[in-house]
Amino acid sequence: MGSVLFVLNDAPYGSERSYNALRHALAVAKQDDAQVKVFLTADATACALAGQAPPEGYYSAERMLKGLMAKRAAVGL
């Protein structure tokens, strides 16, 4: 598959754009031959804040990023 770069620039909450990008990045990272890179810019840098406490029933951008890093994805700010 090669290398795939995801560039996020929306806040982690308030819209689903960052969530969808992280969800797609996780799906691509499951493939053995894929190298995933995620670049957070502007409001999306808040996705990397530690200790997030989203309301119950909402996704955690922090947890999704940790999942990507566990799959050896490169995450940069």
CATH number at residue 9: 3.40.1260.10
* Owning domain of residue 60: 2-76
Domain tally, the chain: 1
The pLDDT tens digits for 34-71 are: 899 999 999 999 999 899 888 788 889 999 999 998 88
Distance CA 18, CA 26 (A): 12
- Percent of the chain scoring above 90 in pLDDT: 58
- The beta-strand segments (E) located in the chain are 2-8, 34-40, 74-76
Residue count (the chain): 77
pTM for the complete prediction? 0.87
